[in-house]
Structure 1
Amino acid sequence: MPGNAPAGDAHPHNHGILGKFLKLAGAQWVRDGLHTLFMIVLARKSVGDYGGFMLAFGLGQFILFLGEFGLNQPLVTSLSRRYARTGEILAQYTVIKAVLFVAGVAAVVGVALQQGYDEGLVMLVLVISLGVGLEPLSGTFFVACRVRGRQDQEALIRAVAALLGYGWAFGALLLGAGPVWMGLFKVVENTANLVGGAFAVLRWEHLAGLNLGRKALARIWGTTKNGLEFLIMALAAITYNKSNLFFLQNAGGQEAVARYSATWELVDGVSVLVCSLLLSNVLFPLFARLWKTGRDEFHRLAKVSAQWLLALALPLVFVLAAESDRLIGLIYGPAYADAVWMQKYLAPTVLCAFVHNLAAYLMLSQGKQRLLLFIYLAGLGLNLGLCAALIPAHPLAGAAVAILLTKAAVAAATVGYCQKTIGLFTLKTLLPILVASGLGAVLYLGLAPFVPREVAELGAIAPMLALLARLWRARRVRGLAPGDPGRGMEKP
């Protein structure tokens, strides 16, 4: 029956979280690896072209976020209902996303024209927006795969589509094509995703009735109204994440955007891997279902996830900050020297992203989207004020500080709510992390004057890595279900 749990997840503790995450992570690594390589080659070839691409992607993200976050979260909830009419639901959301796609592309191009961008940059914004805007349409069908626990199908399709898209990108780059021709790679990639996702889902027997009959069309407006809070929430979130780029373009031009984006690609890439794949695509469907079917398991999984995410984030933040000179220099070269010190500012946003996104998905699972919307709107107001105050006088430093303070404030609000209602962090889960962090700090400060920096940095993260290994062994020793990280570490 549509909406029931997939067969492999029948037992409440047998979620298969790790296996599903690794399948999606494999496809994401293929795409992100190709994307990173392409952008690095482009960045080394031309700072201006790289800045133009990053600005175009920043505008295109508005369309992506509206369709993905703005509609995929209520779509998960709708498909998770016991007697959900899956075909009808998918048809409704596809129509809504198609309308948003057209309106979004028109709006983004209008913004580019209003900002006075030159013709080449406007055309690049158009093709990137078309390509990025197709992703939410394919995402509708991928959500159905996730709810059924078929992340393996989604992973295969995404990997093949990435190879096709970036094959186009590298081919155009090698042939010396202009930025607009190169930018068509996103259209190629996401057209393949859309075709593959639709084909995979439409093969299922219970979707044979997929249609847009009169009743389905009549419900589209109702679905749109019900999702309005999510749409506004998504718009607020993507605006406060990207607005510093537009202030930076006006204050420092495409080269300033390029230097900021060099470090943001590294920092945000780490956040996206966990927040998009693990939290959005694997844990959120579980949280949404468990809130309805098993509150004790919901609380247990939330606390275990919080402990793992915090323990994972801290060493990542340290490495990104401590190794910023080598990472930027090795990847982008001497033209991006300003990105080195900016990465030290931006590295803590990884921690903010990990804990905030977990808290946000927990709030959505509990139906607290209105409160989350208020938090996002407050974050947007704070961010616009910080950008206006800081970026004109100090473009690069202002852009980095504005996004860091905004993300910290939003994370404090969402985690604070979940701490109050769920008890997300307890002394039992926090104490080992605090001890490992303190020991790492002592080792780093004690070793740094006497040994090569690599040894001191390894000493800094070794206690946290040992803690993560111990938590993993505890999971295995206690006979936990495969793919269920940390069951038994803490009772709700």
Structure 2
Amino acid sequence: MSHAWGLGLAQVVGAGASALLLPVLTRVLGPDAYGQWSLVLVLISYVLPWTDLGVARGIIRFCPTYDTSDARLNVYRTVRRFAFMVSLSMGVLLAVLSPWLAQIAIGDAADWHLLCLIALLFPLEALFRVGTAFVQAEERLAHYARISTGRHVGELLLLTIAALLTADIAWLLLARIISLSVVVAWILYAGRRQLATQRSDWSLAPIRQFVGFGLPMIPAVFVWALIMSADRYMLKMWSSVSDVGLYNVADILALMLINWTRPINGVLQPKLANLRSTNVAESERYIRISFRWLAVLMAPCAVFLATMGRPVITLLSGAAFADAAHALPWLALGYVIIGLTNPLYHVVYLRRGGFAFLWLYGAALAVNIALNAVLIPQHGLSGAAFATMAAFLAYAVGLFALALPNEQRMIAAESMALVKIAGSAGVAALVMATASSHGHLAVIAGALAGGIIFFILMLVLRVIHRHEIRELLIPVRSWLRPRKGPEQ
């Protein structure tokens, strides 16, 4: 497990690199144009989950059950071909309907060319999802981390160049297409030797099985995308596009909390898929340890954002975006809640599939829309952020209700650790808040001091243990002293 977490640290570098794009886009585009770009990204989040009809999730769930490598490779070839044909058909349909859909989704039929560019992402995204899902199912975690990091860093470089050369959103989309094309070509090239010896066997059986498992989750993901975007559309309706841009800045910074959980969550679902039928005790150990470490990783970061949000946003995006800090405390709390539910999410999803999440996400969406309608007209950004946090909390309560009694007991057993973590985070918050109004150097010093104090308290209170830290550092030592051998 420690080796898997260490390999996942590479994903933090990639996703963190993407956040470096924030100062470029916000300063070049300004609040209004950046708000428009945010709406385009929301539209992409609506349509791209449909590209593979859920077969990528089926690969993670069922590929480990095949006995031989040849059987896994053969089914991978089959579902990859299926996903490509389906996504290509969807992309063509989106391009044909682009003049009509542009008016609905973006607000201007003249932006139909943006939808045509999004259509080009369809087959690329499908191949990326299927390719990375197979790598995860095989537990080739180092390769998966390299792919993920490569995509994030590539997008960072190309989007930065495009934003500096022009403020045209079409060029930003084109940069994203080029970046994804390179990564997909890398995936296909890396797997060509393995697939060269496999016979072509077009069978509908694995497709039906994989789609049957993964497809029900797509409507649930769509509803989840509505939760993530309802506040933006309602801010545009009752406020302005510039407020959408401000909210998106706060949301991106708060999402960095989830970024710190990637070393755990990036490998948790495929690992549990392999263990759930072979070693139940080991899977329970994964859940307990991951839940505790998720809280330890996210708590100091959430405190940092809540107490030092304004100087950080001003430093990154300029004074025009400083008011985005009003949304940060509630969004940070919301993403902490979501991060803590991830181990339980993987367990419930692997056992019950996507149908269970349809009503759960729907209930969270209803909470979000109702609170947005009440709070945005009076409280603006902070009201939208509170509505999102409340929706996440409703989702967490529902997810806990879906868990089995033994799973609920496992999570409840860690409640005392959560109390210790919250108390230590409060101490760190006092240190950071004291430094937040004394300039950028004081902000950095306060953040470092608060983080150090927090982790010292974690060791003193025995929330984390020295042997766990030593285990987590095993991959770092192996990178410093590389040894020849097969990839873990």
With the length of structure 2 as denominator, give the TM-score of the two structures.
0.82
1:63 aligned onto 2:47? yes
Q: 2:366 aligns with which of 362, 381, 396?
A: 381
Residue type of the alignment partner of 1:211:
S
Q: 1:211 aligns with which of 189, 200, 213?
A: 200
Q: Secondary structure at the match of 1:46?
A: helix
1:126, distance to aligned residue in structure 2 (A):
4.3
Question: Any idea what the Cα deviations from partners look like across 1:418-461, whole Å, max 9, x if unmatched?
Answer: 4833223354x443442353355367669978997867776765
Which residue does 2:114 correspond to in 1? Answer: 124
Provide closer, same or farther for how the CA distance between residues 61 and 368 of structure 1 changes in structure 2, counting only shifts above 3 A: closer
Q: Which moved more, 1:258-267 or 1:364-373?
A: 364-373
Q: Which moved more, 1:64-73 or 1:302-311?
A: 64-73
Q: 1:190 aligns with which of 172, 180, 191?
A: 180
Identity of aligned residues (%): 21
Residue type of the alignment partner of 1:475:
E
1:93 aligned onto 2:76? no
Which residue does 2:482 correspond to in 1? Answer: none
Which residue does 1:246 correspond to in 2? Answer: 233
Residue type of the alignment partner of 2:193:
R
Which residue does 1:487 correspond to in 2? Answer: none
Provide closer, same or farther for how the CA distance between residues 445 and 146 of structure 1 changes in structure 2, counting only shifts above 3 A: closer
Q: 1:475 aligns with which of 444, 468, 472?
A: 468
Residue type of the alignment partner of 1:90:
Y
Q: Secondary structure at the match of 2:20?
A: helix
Structure 1: distance between partners of 2:119 and 2:161: 21
Structure 1: distance between partners of 2:259 and 2:425: 26
Provide closer, same or farther for how the CA distance between residues 474 and 334 of structure 1 changes in structure 2, counting only shifts above 3 A: same
Provide closer, same or farther for how the CA distance between residues 54 and 391 of structure 1 changes in structure 2, counting only shifts above 3 A: same
Structure 1: distance between partners of 2:433 and 2:154: 47
1:43 aligned onto 2:26? yes
Structure 1: distance between partners of 2:205 and 2:53: 24
Q: 1:287 aligns with which of 272, 287, 299?
A: 272
Which residue does 2:222 correspond to in 1? Answer: 235
Query: Any runs of at least 4 consecutive aligned residues in structure 1 with deviations exceeding 6 A, and if so which?
Result: 446-453, 455-459
Provide closer, same or farther for how the CA distance between residues 417 and 314 of structure 1 changes in structure 2, counting only shifts above 3 A: farther
Which residue does 1:4 correspond to in 2? Answer: none
Provide closer, same or farther for how the CA distance between residues 306 and 349 of structure 1 changes in structure 2, counting only shifts above 3 A: same
1:75 aligned onto 2:63? no
Structure 2: distance between partners of 1:219 and 1:304: 34
Residue type of the alignment partner of 1:178:
D
Which residue does 1:320 correspond to in 2? Answer: 305
Structure 2: distance between partners of 1:265 and 1:441: 23
Which residue does 1:168 correspond to in 2? Answer: 158
1:165, distance to aligned residue in structure 2 (A):
4.3
Structure 2: distance between partners of 1:297 and 1:183: 43
Which residue does 2:286 correspond to in 1? Answer: 301
Which residue does 1:6 correspond to in 2? Answer: none
1:170, distance to aligned residue in structure 2 (A):
3.3
Provide closer, same or farther for how the CA distance between residues 175 and 227 of structure 1 changes in structure 2, counting only shifts above 3 A: closer
Structure 1: distance between partners of 2:207 and 2:3: 34
Q: 1:415 aligns with which of 400, 415, 427?
A: 400
Q: 2:5 aligns with which of 18, 37, 44?
A: 18
Q: Secondary structure at the match of 2:216?
A: helix
Decide whether the 8 Å contact of 2:428 with 2:453 is kept in 1: no
Provide closer, same or farther for how the CA distance between residues 67 and 474 of structure 1 changes in structure 2, counting only shifts above 3 A: farther
Decide whether the 8 Å contact of 1:387 with 1:399 is kept in 2: yes
Residue type of the alignment partner of 1:268:
L
Residue type of the alignment partner of 1:78:
F
Q: Which moved more, 1:182-191 or 1:60-69?
A: 60-69
Provide closer, same or farther for how the CA distance between residues 143 and 232 of structure 1 changes in structure 2, counting only shifts above 3 A: same
1:339 aligned onto 2:294? no
Q: Which moved more, 1:380-389 or 1:160-169?
A: 160-169
Q: Secondary structure at the match of 1:424?
A: helix
1:139 aligned onto 2:129? yes
Provide closer, same or farther for how the CA distance between residues 237 and 162 of structure 1 changes in structure 2, counting only shifts above 3 A: closer
Provide closer, same or farther for how the CA distance between residues 320 and 49 of structure 1 changes in structure 2, counting only shifts above 3 A: same
Structure 2: distance between partners of 1:212 and 1:68: 19
Q: Secondary structure at the match of 1:184?
A: helix
Residue type of the alignment partner of 2:184:
L
Q: Which moved more, 1:104-113 or 1:166-175?
A: 104-113
Q: Secondary structure at the match of 1:209?
A: coil
Structure 2: distance between partners of 1:439 and 1:142: 38
Provide closer, same or farther for how the CA distance between residues 396 and 463 of structure 1 changes in structure 2, counting only shifts above 3 A: same
Structure 2: distance between partners of 1:165 and 1:382: 34
Q: 2:141 aligns with which of 148, 151, 160?
A: 151
Residue type of the alignment partner of 2:279:
G
Question: Any idea what the Cα deviations from partners look like across 1:32-78, whole Å, max 9, x if unmatched?
Answer: 41x33333212112222211211111110123344589443322011
Which residue does 2:94 correspond to in 1? Answer: 106
Residue type of the alignment partner of 2:327:
M
Question: Any idea what the Cα deviations from partners look like across 1:382-413, whole Å, max 9, x if unmatched?
Answer: 33333344445554233212211111110122
Which residue does 1:180 correspond to in 2? Answer: 170
Which residue does 1:201 correspond to in 2? Answer: 191
Structure 2: distance between partners of 1:443 and 1:350: 19
Structure 1: distance between partners of 2:433 and 2:148: 44
Structure 2: distance between partners of 1:383 and 1:101: 34
Residue type of the alignment partner of 1:42:
L
Gaps of 5+ in 1: 1-13, 485-492
Provide closer, same or farther for how the CA distance between residues 400 and 53 of structure 1 changes in structure 2, counting only shifts above 3 A: same
Provide closer, same or farther for how the CA distance between residues 81 and 252 of structure 1 changes in structure 2, counting only shifts above 3 A: same
Q: Secondary structure at the match of 1:16?
A: helix
Decide whether the 8 Å contact of 1:132 with 1:187 is kept in 2: no
Residue type of the alignment partner of 1:51:
G
Q: Secondary structure at the match of 2:65?
A: coil
Q: Secondary structure at the match of 2:107?
A: coil
Decide whether the 8 Å contact of 2:216 with 2:353 is kept in 1: no
Decide whether the 8 Å contact of 2:6 with 2:473 is kept in 1: no
Structure 1: distance between partners of 2:401 and 2:454: 24
Which residue does 2:348 correspond to in 1? Answer: 363
Structure 1: distance between partners of 2:106 and 2:217: 31
Question: RMSD in angstroms over aligned alpha carbons?
Answer: 3.5
1:20, distance to aligned residue in structure 2 (A):
2.2
Decide whether the 8 Å contact of 2:432 with 2:450 is kept in 1: no
Q: Secondary structure at the match of 2:67?
A: coil
Structure 2: distance between partners of 1:460 and 1:160: 32
With the length of structure 1 as denominator, give the TM-score of the two structures.
0.81
Q: Secondary structure at the match of 2:239?
A: helix
Residue type of the alignment partner of 1:106:
L
Q: Secondary structure at the match of 2:277?
A: helix
Question: Any idea what the Cα deviations from partners look like across 1:150-186, whole Å, max 9, x if unmatched?
Answer: 2322333444455554443333334336221232111
